[in-house]
Structure formats: structure tokens, C-alpha cells
Structure 1
Amino acid sequence: MKSVTRSLRVLEAVAQHQPVTVGELTKIFGLPKSTVQRTLVTLAEAGWLRANRKDTTRWEIGARVLAVRPAALQGSSLFAAAREPMLRLRDAVNETIHLSVPDALQCVVVVDRVDSDQAVRTFHNIGDTSPLHATATGRAILAHLPKADVDELVERGLERFSDSTPTEPAELRAELDRVRADGYSVNINQYRSGVCAVAAAILDEDGTPLASVAVSMPDSRYDPDRLPEWGRIVADTAAEISARRLGG
């Protein structure tokens, strides 16, 4: 069982640091180089890892992981419930739509995306992560978490990504109050320069935030006069996804 646990941890480390060398992984885990090398080879033989094409001394995620991810998502009630409403939301606003889920308090992870046909549009890879406090997707979720969770996040420190990132605890809490009052959250260049988003939480029947759905756009197309319209349609989409997932 120890070898299985070690293999999973090595797989996670490769996913986080890819492309990564045996030496780098040895430092991360404090294990003998031969042990790490043997684990990598075993995972590669099973298709979970592969050598980087340009530098074969570096390792990266293999095709089996890429195949499992969409299959797992498509089998979930969240993915099934969200897909059609996301397509309609994209058609209504002609901007990129993202579905993101929280990884505890560490981050939010993009798990699905519907692209617009705009020549200039925002883009996030499936699997991209971002901090809860600095993004619309994250704050939509954070606003519905228990106060103790928000306190824990604040105690860890709020990293600044731009001049407008909410890094003061009082500032973040006031923003979360606005999200709860409005029903949606807004990000105007607070995480990535030139990127704006409007997001709303997808809630379970007990009010637990399972995910968030967002409209993402370049700041050149962000229009504050349209914010109430965008906020309403995004919140309505999140509510529809919640209802569809619960069979409503």
C-alpha cells in the first residue's frame, strides 16, 4: 500500500511541476533517486506518465490521465447538469463560459469550458487553477462557505496579483457581503491583467457551494452598464444548474 500511496503522490507532483526531472522529484520527496526513478518508470509503463518530447530527462502527465479526466467529469451529475445551460449562456452573451469547482480552500479548478466565437477572447485550460479570493469564480464560492473557512483563508494571507486584488481581510469580507447581496461576483483585472468575469455559485440542496459558473471576457469588452444584465443571467444559469442536478 505504501508503494501505491507513493505512486499517487509522485503522479500529483508531476502534474503540479511538469515537466520535471528525477532530481527535482527526489528533492521534493526526500527519497532515493532509484526509488523515484522506479516509480516513474512504472507509471510510464501504465500510461499515466511520459517523457517530455523535447527533453526526455523530464517527465509529464501521460495520455491515460487525460482520458480519465473528461470521462470522470462526464459521469458526474454536475457536469451533466451544467453543460446545456452553459451552452445557452454562451449563446446569450457570446463570451467564454467556465465551470469551476473548489479544491478545498486551496484554489478553484476549471473543469469545463464553452468558447465564444469572438476573435479576441479569454482562454483557460481545463485543469487551470486560481485563488479563491482573487477571482469571480472563487469569491462566488467563498461567499457561501462558513465563516470559519473564510477566517482560515484570511489567516493564511491573501496574495496580491494586481493593484485591485482584495488583500485586506475587511476588504475581502465586504466583497463577499456584496456577492451574497447581489447573487453574483465580479472580477475586473483582479487576478489576470486584461481579464474580467462575472460568476455565480452552484449550490447543493443544503446551500453548500459545489461549483461556480462564470462569463469571462477581455476587459476591452467589459461594460459596467451591462453588469446587472450579466449578473442576472449568470445567477439564473447557476440556479438552473443547481435545480437540474437535483432533478428539479
Structure 2
Amino acid sequence: MPETEPTDESAEAPDLTNKSVVKAMTLLRELGRHPRGITVTELAQIVGMTRPTAFRLLLSMEQVGFVDRTENNYTLGWEMARLGRLADPTAGVAAKVQPILEGVAQEISETVSFALVKSQTEYEIIAEASASRLLQVSNLYVRRQYPLHASATGKILLADLADTRVSQLLSGTLASFTPQTITDSKVLVRQLKEIRENGYAVIDNELEEGLFAVAVGVRDADGLLLGVVTATGPDQRMKSGRLAGTVEQLRSTAEEIGKTLE
């Protein structure tokens, strides 16, 4: 009697993942955490791989420029740097983040945006979502960056730096946008200390009259700042006893986005 083919419902989808490629990517990610180099033995131990397997994969990647080796130390190679320059860091990220933003925007009834960190002092807002309100902020932020000292997102970036670095970046009088803008770098440095302690940043009429924003950093498992999630709205509404709840919502959102981007 001929054997019957398993139905789509009963058959499990085959695992088509190439295990060697996955292991190679694991090695590359770990190499990225060691810019000064790491030995194959140390690398294998960290990622839970046998030394011979790690060595073979590193040797193969070295031959195509993905890995460099100086004596016994391995680092990311020139080809990785070249591909990194070609890649659009926002590609795919906005699509992953957008549904999360839409959910929290409806929960807190304000405009919520996500900014991707590009460097220590640069960010780009790549996604936003707005609640169904007559009075709201919408479609104003995507693809833009605002002054670091006068934006909640910018303050999160500054708070991630040492005070000496902040003083170097923002020496002298800072640009004023409203009477509430912080223009004294010493005052700003004191506020950044509070931001580090509290875990969130706000602007209160500092960029535009009537505009209030609160921001929380999005970090990876190692604590690296990947981006910032921000809620923005009219000051009289956002300051009316809702700030604590909004901060907690943003913290949960930041954690969810961080896991999504891993």
C-alpha cells in the first residue's frame, strides 16, 4: 500500500536555517563588542562554541574581509565597515516600531515618536503615531532633528555623555527658542544629572510655546542607547497629573522596542 503524503496541517515546516551562517553572525556580533580585538579562545568561550568551530568560521570570514587578524587578535574587518556604510540604518526598523507606537499613542492619547540614534550627538526621528484628537501634534517630526538642549530626545542623548563632554559640545550661550529655553550650559548639566537619576527627560515650552514632551531611552541588552521614544502634546494636557503614567507607558514601550530590535 503506497504511503500517503502528510497534510499541510500535520507536517511541520522544515528548519531551513543554515546553522553555520547563524554561528558566523554570532561571532561577528561579539567581535563588535571588542574593538581592540579578542583571541579565538576567548571568543569561543563567550559565545559557547568550540574553539575549532570558531577558528574555522573566523578563518573563512578573514579570507573575504569580514574579519581582520593581527597576531592572535581578531576584529571586525574592512568589508564589514564598507557594508555598514552602505546600509540604511532605518530600513526595516520603522516597520517594526510603527505598530508599537500606534498602540501606545492610543493608550496615552498623544503623539508618540521614535528616534534612531546615529551617533553620540545625532538622531533621526524615523516613525511616529498620533491619537485621535482634535488638538494634537502630527506629521511634524519624521526625518528631523531638533537642538539637543531644547528637545526631550536630545536631552536623553546628552545625559548619556559625561558632563565634561557635554560642556565641550555646548560651550557658551545656547540658542534660545522661547523664554523657557535653557541657554546656560551649567544649568543644563545640572538638569542632565536629574535625567540620569529619573530615567526620563522633558521639555516644557522650551522649543515652542505650548509644547510639552517627555522622552525615555531605548537600550539594548548591554545598555547601549539605540534610540529614544517620545510623547508630545499640548502642555496644559500633558502636565495635568498625567506625567507619571505617561513615563511608565514610555518605559514599557522602550523596553518592548529594545527587545524588538535585538
Shorter-chain TM band: 0.5 to 0.7
Structure-2 residue corresponding to 1:131: 147
Picking from 174, 185, 192, the partner of 1:169 is 185
Structure-2 residue corresponding to 1:88: 103
Cα deviation code 1:167-218 (max 9, x no counterpart): 2122111211111111111111111111111110112333232211111101
For normalisation by structure 2, the TM-score amounts to 0.60
Counterpart residue identity of residue 124, structure 2: V
Counterpart residue identity of residue 201, structure 2: S
Choose between structure 1 and 2: higher helix proportion: 1
Structure 2 residue 241 is the aligned partner of structure 1 residue 225: yes
Distance 1:160 1:236 in 2: 33
Structure 1 residue 105: deviation in Å?
5.7
Structure-2 residue corresponding to 1:119: 134
Structure 1 residue 157: deviation in Å?
4.6
Structure-2 residue corresponding to 1:211: 227
Counterpart residue identity of residue 92, structure 1: E
Structure-2 residue corresponding to 1:193: 209
Structure 1 residue 131: deviation in Å?
0.8
Gaps of 5+ in 2: 1-86
**Greater relative contact order, per chain length (Cα 8 Å cut-off, separation 6+):** 1
* Identity rate, percent: 26
Distance 1:107 1:157 in 2: 20
| Aligned pairs, number | 175
Correspondence 1:47-196 to 2 at 5 A: 72=88, 75-76=91-92, 78-104=93-119, 107-123=122-138, 124-155=140-171, 157-196=173-212
Distance 2:186 2:245 in 1: 28
Gaps of 5+ in 1: 1-70
SS in 1 for 2:94: helix
- Would the alpha carbon gap of residues 99 and 154 (structure 1) be closer, same or farther in structure 2, given more than 3 Å must change? same
- Would the alpha carbon gap of residues 146 and 205 (structure 1) be closer, same or farther in structure 2, given more than 3 Å must change? farther
For normalisation by structure 1, the TM-score amounts to 0.63
SS in 1 for 2:231: strand
Structure-1 residue corresponding to 2:36: none
Structure 1 residue 138: deviation in Å?
1.2
Counterpart residue identity of residue 231, structure 2: V
Counterpart residue identity of residue 235, structure 1: R
Counterpart residue identity of residue 113, structure 1: E
Report if the CA contact (8 A) 2:98-2:128 is conserved.
no
- Would the alpha carbon gap of residues 101 and 245 (structure 1) be closer, same or farther in structure 2, given more than 3 Å must change? closer
- Would the alpha carbon gap of residues 104 and 156 (structure 1) be closer, same or farther in structure 2, given more than 3 Å must change? farther
RMSD value, Cα: 2.4
Correspondence 1:2-13 to 2 at 5 A: none
Structure 2 residue 247 is the aligned partner of structure 1 residue 242: no
Distance 2:156 2:240 in 1: 18
Distance 1:194 1:150 in 2: 27
- Would the alpha carbon gap of residues 99 and 107 (structure 1) be closer, same or farther in structure 2, given more than 3 Å must change? same
Structure 1 residue 103: deviation in Å?
4.9
Cα deviation code 1:62-120 (max 9, x no counterpart): xxxxxxxxx956633x4344223212211211111111234546654321111211111
Runs of 4+ displaced beyond 4 Å: 71-74
Cα deviation code 1:11-57 (max 9, x no counterpart): xxxxxxxxxxxxxxxxxxxxxxxxxxxxxxxxxxxxxxxxxxxxxxx
Counterpart residue identity of residue 217, structure 1: G
